């Protein structure tokens, strides 16, 4: 499996789950935290599915302790 592009919907889904954030589909077309953020209301169904895929495939969690 190839790694998703930084900022892509799949990458953001993985990161949100890893860091214990809420399921909130979004992405950054220019890379994570670069340029503008595209919010769920402006995502295609495919992009929302990609975010969900990233969320579901992330099996690690940030250890805050």
Per-residue confidence (pLDDT) for residue 4, from 0 to 100:
79
Question: Which regions of the chain does DSSP assign to beta strands (E)?
Answer: 26-27, 38-39
Per-residue confidence (pLDDT) for residue 3, from 0 to 100:
75
Give Cα separations from 64 to 8, 19, 61 (angstroms).
25, 9, 9
Per-residue confidence (pLDDT) for residue 1, from 0 to 100:
60
Q: Mean pLDDT for each 10-residue chunk of the chain (65 residues)?
A: 86 97 97 96 98 96 88
Q: What is the tens place of the pLDDT at every residue in 43-61?
A: 999 999 999 999 999 999 9
């Amino acid at each position: 499996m190839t790694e998703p592009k930084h900022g892509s919907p799949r990458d953001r889904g993985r990161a949100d789950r890893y860091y214990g954030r809420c399921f909130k589909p979004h992405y950054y077309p220019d890379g994570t935290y670069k340029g503008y953020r595209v919010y769920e209301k402006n995502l295609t169904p495919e992009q929302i599915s990609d975010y969900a895929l990233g969320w579901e495939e992330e099996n690690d969690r940030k250890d805050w302790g």
